[in-house]
Chains A and B, each alone.
Chain A
């Protein structure tokens, strides 16, 4: 494997990780502040992608499509919180898993009912299409570079939001001690709706960004959802920093596993068997990573007690 190919694969892993971060950040924030496991987070990702595809088809503008994804997912998230989720805060995790599992069924089939069974069309804007040449002659798609940039910008913005703003202080206080901030006169139910909508908007935004290079279809949220859970568990649930580190770790493990494992097995096995075994192991690699992290650190890398 040449240096250029390896460098390109590392970039791919990074980009995959950044995309996972957009999903995982909302998930971990919601867990950190409200103590809620939300399996339906993937449905919000799907809502964002569908809203973007519909808007792009109607207006032809990618920027409007991105805006629509933010608005639609935030609205869907707020609605979800007001109608269902707020009844679940006091419940145990089992009830939360079940109720949000039910929400997945409702959202998936509801979307299919609205938009039909065929995948929708959403393409990247002309300004970002095609490859660029990076130093050392690495050719890399401009759009994927943009995703890396956007993801890092979102991570920075989130960091500033949490450390520098009034809302952020309330969020941090909520993570530390829920009764205390209520006693301090913060409207806690409004804060919760806001945090949930923020997490939803991030997921929807990710759905729109990724929908442009993948397939916009019903059920697209589920594989990403499971990966996002792996990410926040590795990072430590509730920690945004953990989500960032976990995303990059999972992105790199998955991408490099797919790229390298078949070659590694090829050293001592016949080619066709090596590709099969390598591919099988690569598809299990992130779960192995997660099991290993949890066995060594049962609360994840940055998890608090």
Chain B
């Protein structure tokens, strides 16, 4: 098989010791095309944690899904059928996760999600073998709604792209926000010009704007918004403010409030060591995606230390214990295997030449998610 495989540690020496069964991990993530920067960060964070652990019994196979659901399914089939992996991980996008996760868990494989958290997998479609190490999709938007209340906003204008994650975002915000809505807009997915929307915001009389526009959409929106002279304060989830994107937005992002479960200045020893070692290893600051990849690998390592992966029940219990030091500080799993964690409020600042985020408060403490009650395992 001509595979791009990355062997972590020497498999031979592991065979010699025999003490521990090898764990084979299949990572399916986006490494080419438009969304590649997210996948690269998750991969780098994950591999950094493995390297630091010094373990030679965890083998990782990495494959590029090109952000195409059918390619992701094909790779998952190969990893399960031909490579016989024990654990799958790596998917960035909800639609790809929905394509891969249900059938992977149905075939008895563990799946650890380092990024996507669609509501279907948190509620009715939850699985004992599926663990989300990042967040349920609604979480950061809920936190933005909660923050808007404490900031005293009464009248929000909200917008997101017209696709399921966009609708979840606005639903999440509305779930916590107690004020009125000055307007609600769904934009075209992949839209790059927001002049029409900004004109409506200007005319709406809102006192705050909540937007969920990941990737390039957010860059375009922020630059155009800053230039439009509209000075209604913005709130958004961290996806439009991660380390990779901020440098492309520049001054236009300064001072904008965003919500995140992680930030590079979170004050705990694990995080400080992570930020420093990531920078040393890769020559750039980590993003929240990198932190999620790092946490996912450490969760996996903690379970491998506690149980044999072939003993499904014991391994699942070891994962449920979440006995690892998270870069977020507090971290535990809810009944539906999604995190219960604090979600922070951050502000975009400039440190020297680098644009980055600074924590200014906590939006919600110990937040689980709205779907856990529907999950019957």
Describe A's contact surface by its main secondary structure: helix
* Interface segment, one of A136-144, A235-243, A292-300: A136-144
Q: Which residues of B contact A256 (CB under 8 A)?
A: 196
Residues A1-57 near B (CB distance < 8 A): 2, 4-5, 8-9, 12-13, 15-16
Q: A118, B195: Cβ atoms under 8 Å?
A: no
Q: Which residues of A contact B34 (CB under 8 A)?
A: 217-219
Q: B250, A259: Cβ atoms under 8 Å?
A: no
Q: B228, A219: Cβ atoms under 8 Å?
A: no
* Interface segment, one of A83-91, A92-100, A193-201, A274-282: A274-282
Q: A118, B216: Cβ atoms under 8 Å?
A: no
B286 to chain A, nearest CB (A): 13
Contact of B250 among A123, A144, A280 (CB under 8 A): A123
Q: Which residues of A contact B224 (CB under 8 A)?
A: 141, 213-214
- Inter-chain CA distance A121–B251, complex, in Å, is 10
Closest to B223 in A: A213
Closest to B185 in A: A275
Residues A220-236 near B (CB distance < 8 A): 220, 223-224
Q: A214, B248: Cβ atoms under 8 Å?
A: no
- Inter-chain CA distance A210–B224, complex, in Å, is 11
Q: B220, A215: Cβ atoms under 8 Å?
A: yes
**Does A150 sit within 8 A of B, measured CB to CB?**
no
**Does B162 sit within 8 A of A, measured CB to CB?**
yes
Q: A223, B190: Cβ atoms under 8 Å?
A: yes
**Does A178 sit within 8 A of B, measured CB to CB?**
no
- Inter-chain CA distance A219–B251, complex, in Å, is 24
Contact of B227 among A2, A118, A141, A276 (CB under 8 A): A141
- Inter-chain CA distance A259–B186, complex, in Å, is 11
Q: Which residues of A contact B229 (CB under 8 A)?
A: 130-131, 139, 141
Complex interface bits, B168-195 against A, C-beta within 8 A gives 1, otherwise 0: 0000000000000000111111101101
- Inter-chain CA distance A297–B227, complex, in Å, is 40
A109 to chain B, nearest CB (A): 7
**Does B1 sit within 8 A of A, measured CB to CB?**
no
- Known: A123-B251, A283-B162. Contact between A275 and B220, CB under 8 A? no
A29 to chain B, nearest CB (A): 24
Contact of B40 among A5, A12, A117, A121 (CB under 8 A): A117
Q: Which residues of B contact A13 (CB under 8 A)?
A: 196
- Known: A120-B248, A223-B190. Contact between A144 and B195, CB under 8 A? yes
Q: B244, A124: Cβ atoms under 8 Å?
A: no
**Does A163 sit within 8 A of B, measured CB to CB?**
no
Q: A255, B162: Cβ atoms under 8 Å?
A: no
Q: B193, A16: Cβ atoms under 8 Å?
A: yes
Q: Which residues of B contact A61 (CB under 8 A)?
A: none
- Inter-chain CA distance A206–B251, complex, in Å, is 23
Closest to B247 in A: A121
- Known: A5-B203, A130-B229. Contact between A219 and B33, CB under 8 A? yes
Q: A258, B187: Cβ atoms under 8 Å?
A: yes
Complex interface bits, B34-54 against A, C-beta within 8 A gives 1, otherwise 0: 101100100000000000000
Q: Which residues of B contact A219 (CB under 8 A)?
A: 33-34
Q: Which residues of B contact A217 (CB under 8 A)?
A: 34, 216, 219, 248
A residues contacting the other copy or chain, number (CB 8 A): 51
**Does A129 sit within 8 A of B, measured CB to CB?**
yes
Q: A16, B195: Cβ atoms under 8 Å?
A: yes
- Inter-chain CA distance A214–B248, complex, in Å, is 10
A48 to chain B, nearest CB (A): 15
- Known: A5-B200, A109-B32. Contact between A12 and B220, CB under 8 A? no
- Known: A131-B229, A258-B187. Contact between A215 and B247, CB under 8 A? no
- Inter-chain CA distance A8–B200, complex, in Å, is 9
Q: B36, A220: Cβ atoms under 8 Å?
A: no
B193 to chain A, nearest CB (A): 6
Complex interface bits, B280-303 against A, C-beta within 8 A gives 1, otherwise 0: 000000000000000000000000
Residues B203-239 near A (CB distance < 8 A): 203, 215-217, 219-220, 223-224, 227-229
Q: B219, A215: Cβ atoms under 8 Å?
A: yes
Closest to A217 in B: B216
- Inter-chain CA distance A272–B185, complex, in Å, is 9
Q: A121, B248: Cβ atoms under 8 Å?
A: yes
A60 to chain B, nearest CB (A): 13
**Does B55 sit within 8 A of A, measured CB to CB?**
no
Q: A272, B184: Cβ atoms under 8 Å?
A: yes
Q: Which residues of B contact A149 (CB under 8 A)?
A: none
**Does A262 sit within 8 A of B, measured CB to CB?**
yes
A104 to chain B, nearest CB (A): 12
Q: B162, A112: Cβ atoms under 8 Å?
A: no
**Does B199 sit within 8 A of A, measured CB to CB?**
yes
- Inter-chain CA distance A119–B215, complex, in Å, is 9
Q: B192, A15: Cβ atoms under 8 Å?
A: no
A-B contact pairs, 27 of them (CB 8 A): A5-B199, A8-B202, A12-B199, A112-B32, A112-B36, A117-B40, A118-B37, A119-B216, A119-B219, A119-B245, A121-B249, A131-B227, A139-B228, A141-B224, A141-B229, A214-B220, A215-B216, A217-B219, A223-B190, A255-B195, A258-B196, A259-B199, A276-B162, A279-B162, A279-B185, A283-B188, A283-B189
17 new A-B contacts at CB < 8 Å, known A141-B228, A275-B184: A12-B195, A16-B195, A119-B248, A121-B250, A129-B227, A141-B227, A144-B195, A213-B193, A214-B216, A214-B219, A215-B217, A215-B223, A223-B192, A255-B195, A258-B196, A279-B185, A283-B188
7 cross-chain pairs, A with B, having the tightest CB-CB distances, nearest first: A131-B229, A215-B219, A215-B216, A119-B248, A279-B186, A12-B195, A117-B36
